[in-house]
Structure 1
Amino acid sequence: VLVAGYDTVLPTDGGLSPLHWRGLASATHRPPRASVALQLRASSACLSSNHKVSPVSAQAMFELVTSEASYYKSLNLLVSHFMENERLKKILHPSEAHILFSNVLDVMAVSERFLLELEHRMEENIVISDVCDIVYRYAADHFSVYITYVSNQTYQERTYKQLLQEKAAFRELIAQLELDPKCKGLPFSSFLILPFQRITRLKLLVQNILKRVEERSDREGTALDAHKELEMVVKACNEGVRKMSRTEQMISIQKKMEFKIKSVPIISHSRWLLKQGELQQMSGPKTSRTLRTKKLFREIYLFLFNDLLVICRQIPGDKYQVFDSAPRGLLRVEELEDQGQTLANVFILRLLENADDREATYMLKASSQSEMKRWMTSLAPNRRTKFVSFTSRLLDCPQVQCVHPYVAQQPDELTLELADILNILEKTEDGWIFGERLHDQERGWFPSSMTEEILNPKIRSQNLKECFRVHKMEDPQRSQNKDRRKLGSRNRQ
């Protein structure tokens, strides 16, 4: 995902991993409003004389305000220059325009009110006191408009691509509008993704403030509250995107399945695909006669959902014949010890209760050690206590930092952005890591070549300290003070 800062479009730390428009070039967005920039310069000159707000925390607050001003300007350009263009209105069917622009007017209206309150706060004092109470209130009460916009991403992206391919008039007009100096060389798609970028950027900006305010202060309390609310919005956005894409994926999978056993309903609003792929099943006992007279392994294909395993054989016509299934909670895996080259990367999968209501055992061979580990982790994720998120952060786990961005290719992989910090939970000899990202506790596999290990124990300890501070457990006293802070922020208006 790309995020719009007040100067440039920068890579995020991956907070909205599903919201990724591949191939989009980074570009520069419009500068902040002049009034805000002047306020910033005037306030910065006086920071050192104010003992209540540290210069670094005040600077972090100003960055949030100025970047919101820049974001609002860019949103306004999306609406005035593209959405309200009379020629474009004639080219697009109302349903196409609705999918393409969604509820961007609602998003812009919320951004305008949000920015006005932030600027009003700046005018109260030459040195800004706090902004996170305003962020908290808007995240809790108004940022649901982002969930609506972001959840539409799958259809928006598809509609945009179809319009470019099928409507020459649309393609030519968009190209012409992009050449306008107002756009500063930015493509239309970079304006469409602004809300995707902004909601993640806001979380990072509040996180930046949180790291710089005084510990156990009121400002820390409001920053923690704001960060928590923004995390909830980001998670809801992610879930909205996933839900749309998952529904289409489940329909596609169901159409490809033919059941040799009693049919299992695949499509469910609470079911999604975790992993799919081909493995080799051992077809007979390991004897010299078996090795000489018949093929020891034959191909099977697995579809692993969050609550169900379906075992198939691939048949002609891009179809899959289902011959067994089991609830995911009734799966057990066991890695074989060194059994020689023939049984390298082999593991045992036990179905405690399969489609025939009996126990079944499969000896499966993966193409590599990493593939075997990934299947075992996905099939039975709780087989090792070290995979428990809280424990992994308590221990002095090895850590890595992302040095090359990586886009997940499979559902069990993790998209990485530059500077992501991750705990290593599992590592394979052929170059894969199963890790947990510190800032959002998302877990998945990624190539070790995309990261560098953090060898300095002091840096690892500092990373954990910042993680604990950002994700501090709910303090009852803070909970009691939330409403008072919220009321206080309203009284200041």
Structure 2
Amino acid sequence: MPKRRRGVSGDRKRPRQGPAAVLSGPQRPLLDPSPGPARSAGQCPTLPGPHHGPCVLQRAGDPVGFGGSGALGGNRCPLLGVPRMPGGGSGNVAASCSPGSAASSSRPDKGVSAMFELVTSEASYYKSLRLLVSHFMENERLKKILHPSEAHILFSNVLDVMAVSERFLLELERRMEENIVISDVCDIVHRYAAEHFSVYITYVSNQTYQERAYKQLLQEKAAFRELIAQLELDPKCRGLPLSSFLILPFQRITRLKLLVQNILKRVEERSEREGTALDAHKELELVVKACNEGVRKMSRTEQMISIQKKMEFKIKSVPIISHSRWLLKQGELQQMSGPKTSRTLRTKKLFREIYLFLFNDLLVISRQIPGDKYQVFDSAPRGLLRVEELEDQGQTLANVFILRLLENADDREATYMLKASSQSEMKRWMTSLAPNRRTKFVSFTSRLLDCPQVQCVHPYVAQQPDELTLDLADVLNTLEKTEDGWIFGERLHDQERGWFPSSMTEEILNPKIRSQNLKECFRVHKMDDPQRSQNKDRRKLGSRNRQ
């Protein structure tokens, strides 16, 4: 465990309390097992959970561990480093800075409450990390049960993550000590995201192996299973399992981005605070994307190895495994046998099953054979695929589309007439095989202005690679909709695209709310304008307007 710093430079004589003393009372990680209520459609869209993991984001309400004036124990408020106001109760400094207090309501908020939440939630998160390390990782009995390699996979670099969180929290606390009304915290967030938060990428990228190792240990080592169950019963864990603590770093890095978004919503436009908030948000966005990409890369590698083993080539073998290749969609379709113009064949058995593997740069066409194997008989680069929906579809040709390979495995053009099980399945295959190239280079702003919007009212976890995981209150643009209840949409805050059931969402009919959603989205993702660039050049790290 990293050595805690004590004290701050200056003329203060009292001893400095470290982050470990920030919270009193029961300990609890930031995992909220029950999803919070959806916000109104006019609010800024929530952030996604990881698309390939069990992470559950906590809503942007009261931070865990801070329940009002009684949350901070003792005669001093360790978080702020200043004594309480006389009289006790709700008249302490923390309450005066907290959301909804009388002191804060008497003047413009300017993002102070959102900054306060970022700091207090970091304190709660740090305390939960300390519990993970001291209660689980450093347990002497557990050390004897686990091989060092097993312990390394299970806990990864959590010590590095905790050390960064400790230093981060200390700097945030010092900033709060400088003035009762917080000046800014996003400059600190930006610097740490750029220079220190790579430890999160390392931790999160290990998630696939971590989950597998945890399941195997529970199944294969009775001593491990019994000890973990015993440790989880400790009141300090608040009834939460070890797995809830292990996903804390992934939760925190995504929630930090949400907290900075909340600050960005409250600060003045074109102000210095807006500039630092935008910088912090963009840097956090890079970290979150790198985390998600790390998770995907690990799972994709294993998936590609598994697919390669199942393939038998009837044609010239195509190397499947590549560092730059991943699976987009796979599944069974029916291929029409015979010429598509022959209407006499419609009364006969026209279709036979084929199985498609669509990668980001390659299409492989095969037939399933005994032994869970697939015999490959054609392939083509994804860039040389064209799709076409039939205009005149009778009952026999319902959900049929034409797939054209401009250059297949035999270096010639080939055409396939394929039938899907439903309209939505046909649309999904057509979208994946040949994305709409007319909108590929259209600006993000142009795509949004005339799109219908929906808001997630029920969480949804993607079941296939072309689907989109939804969190409560996510706001999306509807790009395509099928009659059997599926939507192809683009999420506003991260421009991620995918399919999802329309039953998980509600359409936003109010044009004012749609306009407000777009305004907030553009503000977060807008490019640096010349005025902001000039202000940024003049601004040096650490220089702030004091209030």
TM-score normalised per structure 1: 0.88
Give the CA deviation at 1:295: 2.1
Tell me the secondary structure at the aligned position of residue 494 of structure 2. Answer: coil
- 1:329 equivalent to 2:389? Answer no
- 1:51-99 superposed Cα distances (whole Å, 9 cap, x missing partner): 6753665xx1101001000000000000010000000000000000000
Runs of 5+ in structure 1 lacking a partner? 6-13, 20-33
CA contact (8 A) 2:77 2:93 kept: no
Cα distance in 2 for residues equivalent to 1:443 and 1:53: 35
- 1:215-259 superposed Cα distances (whole Å, 9 cap, x missing partner): 110000000000000000000000000000000000000000000
- 1:417-458 superposed Cα distances (whole Å, 9 cap, x missing partner): 100000000000000000000011100000000000011111
When residues 381 and 234 of structure 1 are mapped into structure 2, their CA distance, relative to the original with a 3 A threshold, is same
- 1:174-208 superposed Cα distances (whole Å, 9 cap, x missing partner): 00001111111111111000001000000000001
Tell me the secondary structure at the aligned position of residue 541 of structure 2. Answer: helix
When residues 431 and 463 of structure 1 are mapped into structure 2, their CA distance, relative to the original with a 3 A threshold, is same
When residues 178 and 484 of structure 1 are mapped into structure 2, their CA distance, relative to the original with a 3 A threshold, is farther
Cα distance in 2 for residues equivalent to 1:66 and 1:74: 13
Give the CA deviation at 1:479: 4.2
When residues 111 and 77 of structure 1 are mapped into structure 2, their CA distance, relative to the original with a 3 A threshold, is same
Give the CA deviation at 1:472: 1.1
Runs of 5+ in structure 2 lacking a partner? 1-59, 62-73, 80-90
CA contact (8 A) 2:187 2:542 kept: no
**Structure 1 stretch 388-397 or stretch 48-57: which is displaced more?**
48-57
When residues 50 and 121 of structure 1 are mapped into structure 2, their CA distance, relative to the original with a 3 A threshold, is farther
Cα distance in 1 for residues equivalent to 2:75 and 2:199: 18
- 1:225 equivalent to 2:275? Answer no
Cα distance in 1 for residues equivalent to 2:383 and 2:342: 36
- 1:395-421 superposed Cα distances (whole Å, 9 cap, x missing partner): 221110000000000000000010000
- Name the structure, 1 or 2, with higher relative contact order (CA <8 Å, separation 6+): 2
Cα distance in 1 for residues equivalent to 2:353 and 2:187: 58
When residues 305 and 392 of structure 1 are mapped into structure 2, their CA distance, relative to the original with a 3 A threshold, is farther
Cα distance in 1 for residues equivalent to 2:266 and 2:346: 69
Cα distance in 2 for residues equivalent to 1:281 and 1:17: 71
CA contact (8 A) 2:300 2:327 kept: yes
Identity among equivalent positions (%) equals 93
- 1:302-321 superposed Cα distances (whole Å, 9 cap, x missing partner): 00000000000111100000
Cα distance in 2 for residues equivalent to 1:438 and 1:43: 29
Tell me the secondary structure at the aligned position of residue 42 of structure 1. Answer: coil
When residues 337 and 289 of structure 1 are mapped into structure 2, their CA distance, relative to the original with a 3 A threshold, is closer
CA contact (8 A) 1:15 1:440 kept: no
Cα distance in 1 for residues equivalent to 2:231 and 2:174: 34
- 1:456 equivalent to 2:456? Answer no
When residues 373 and 16 of structure 1 are mapped into structure 2, their CA distance, relative to the original with a 3 A threshold, is farther
1:190 to 240, 244, 253: 244
Cα distance in 1 for residues equivalent to 2:128 and 2:93: 16
Tell me the secondary structure at the aligned position of residue 424 of structure 1. Answer: strand
Cα distance in 1 for residues equivalent to 2:136 and 2:454: 43
Cα distance in 2 for residues equivalent to 1:37 and 1:65: 11
When residues 152 and 15 of structure 1 are mapped into structure 2, their CA distance, relative to the original with a 3 A threshold, is farther
When residues 39 and 269 of structure 1 are mapped into structure 2, their CA distance, relative to the original with a 3 A threshold, is farther
Cα distance in 1 for residues equivalent to 2:388 and 2:347: 28
**Structure 1 stretch 99-108 or stretch 380-389: which is displaced more?**
380-389
When residues 83 and 63 of structure 1 are mapped into structure 2, their CA distance, relative to the original with a 3 A threshold, is same
Cα distance in 1 for residues equivalent to 2:105 and 2:416: 71
**Structure 1 stretch 380-389 or stretch 169-178: which is displaced more?**
380-389
When residues 124 and 293 of structure 1 are mapped into structure 2, their CA distance, relative to the original with a 3 A threshold, is closer
CA contact (8 A) 1:15 1:200 kept: no
Cα distance in 2 for residues equivalent to 1:260 and 1:422: 43
CA contact (8 A) 1:137 1:486 kept: no
Tell me the secondary structure at the aligned position of residue 132 of structure 2. Answer: helix
CA contact (8 A) 1:43 1:127 kept: no
TM-score normalised per structure 2: 0.79
Give the CA deviation at 1:390: 1.0
CA contact (8 A) 1:134 1:489 kept: no
Give the CA deviation at 1:117: 0.6
- 1:456-485 superposed Cα distances (whole Å, 9 cap, x missing partner): 111001000000001111234444554664
When residues 485 and 95 of structure 1 are mapped into structure 2, their CA distance, relative to the original with a 3 A threshold, is farther
Cα distance in 2 for residues equivalent to 1:54 and 1:491: 13
- 2:99 is aligned to 42
Say how many residue pairs are matched.
Answer: 464
When residues 489 and 170 of structure 1 are mapped into structure 2, their CA distance, relative to the original with a 3 A threshold, is farther
